[in-house]
Structure 1
Amino acid sequence: MQELLDADGDALTRKAVELALGGDTTALRLCMERIAPARKDTPVNFDLPAMKTAQDASQAAQAVLQAVSEGQLTPLEGASVMALVEGYRKALETTELEQRIAALEATQ
């Protein structure tokens, strides 16, 4: 099946474009979905405090919740940003723990 489609791909594409230009709405939709696909994700813009420590992540999380409650972010966008904040918090926390362990080991 794939070999057949590969062999006739250009002809099928040309036919779909011809049908779309001829007014076939299904072919038009198919062509438009390939030319300009729907965006799956969009950038968001809102104030987020700097995170230099794991504790700062709680302030960042509060900023995300406030942005959602004020309508600056959709709940889905807020959840995506919150996942980023949580991942960064874990990285900061790991770094802080490594520094503490290194300091303890240096005193022994």
Structure 2
Amino acid sequence: MAKPGTFRKGASGNPAGRPKGSRHKATLAVEALLEGEAEALTRKAVEMALDGDTVAMRLCLDRIAPARKDRPITFALPAIETASDLTKATNALLQAVAAGDLTPSEASELGKIVDAHTHAVEVTDIAERLALLEQAAGGKR
């Protein structure tokens, strides 16, 4: 049973709430107003962009080729085989940011990946040590 003041796992706190996929009234009203006009509006925006309207140009270009959120990064990261290798990796990230090869946000995201990998290395190391201890103890608990 759930603690008082909390919901059961997997159960909605508001089962009679808005159904998934339903739309807000304002969204429905705008869609009703624009119904059948999308093609004409698109055509007009393209014409305005071709006539030199910079706002229309940006609108059209953002639809044609949206700005990329991520980009591939070519970056030499030292191998992380033990937890002590983490400092080498973070130092490489700091150097890349200082040199302008990586943005701070890119380094932050890479740091999260390095941290996850380091955690995996630590867990593997602990599992190996535990297996050796159990083997040395003859499998006794």
Q: TM over 0.5: same fold?
A: yes
| Residues 1:14 and 2:43 are matched in the alignment | yes
- Residue 19 of structure 2 is matched in structure 1 by none
- Residue 79 of structure 1 is matched in structure 2 by 108
- Larger gyration radius, structure 1 or structure 2: 2
Give structure 1 stretches of 5+ with no counterpart: none
TM-score, structure 2 as length reference: 0.63
TM alignment of 1:49-88, pairs within 5 A: 49-88=78-117
TM-score, structure 1 as length reference: 0.78
Change (3 A) 1:21 1:70: closer
Q: Which has the higher helix share?
A: 1
Higher relative contact order (CA 8 A, sep 6+): 1
Whole-Å separation in 1 of the counterparts to 2:134 and 2:31 = 61
Whole-Å separation in 1 of the counterparts to 2:39 and 2:132 = 65
Give the deviation of 1:85 after TM superposition.
0.8
Instruction: Give me the identity figure in percent.
Output: 50
Q: How large is the Cα RMSD of the aligned pairs?
A: 2.2
Change (3 A) 1:19 1:100: same
Question: 1:5-52 CA deviation, whole Å, 9 max, x = no partner?
Answer: 464333322221122122222211100111122222222223211112
Number of equivalenced pairs: 108
